[in-house]
Copies of this chain bind each other. A is one copy, B any other.
Amino acid sequence: MNEAKIRATLKSKGLSYTRPRKEILHLLMTRHGPFSVDDILKSIPDGTCDQATVYRCISQFLEKSLIKEVRLGEDFSRYEFNNPDHHHHHVICKSCQKIDSIDNCFIAPFLNQIKNLGYTEIEHALEFFAICPKCQKA
């Protein structure tokens, strides 16, 4: 992921190119999330970014739909890059907290039902909680 790509992504959303935005978006565009604010802070060199700035960048990225919020039953939020071509869900291990992706979404039957109730602009949040193979042996 080069600087030009990140710069272009920010520009396409009308956001100026600043060091914190570059660092945060770089993490989210190059590594597999979802990441907590703490993950993000620790990933930035020299700790040279304030947590207030991270929260403010996240809000802006969410408003612009650059990222999605993911809640996994923890007492904090996680965030991941929003790739419209890669709608997916997550399983988190109830024992070791390892997160896996579920790439197929079989939500259509629900959508039909909800559309029939007259709802529009339907979005969904779906997460799974289970015991992973490694934790079953231990």
Contacts and interface: CB of A to CB of B under 8 A. Distances in A.
Interface of A: 71, 73, 89, 91, 93-94, 100, 102, 104, 106-107, 109-110, 113-114, 117-133, 136
Contact of A130 (B73, B89, B119, B132): B119
Nearest to A118: B133
23 contacts: A73-B125, A89-B110, A91-B117, A93-B119, A100-B117, A100-B119, A102-B110, A104-B109, A104-B113, A106-B106, A110-B126, A118-B132, A118-B136, A120-B131, A121-B130, A121-B131, A122-B130, A124-B126, A124-B127, A124-B128, A125-B126, A125-B127, A125-B129
A133 B130 CA distance: 36
Nearest to A109: B106
A121 B133 CA distance: 11
Nearest to A128: B124
The 5 closest A-B pairs by CB, nearest first: A118-B133, A119-B130, A106-B109, A122-B130, A123-B129
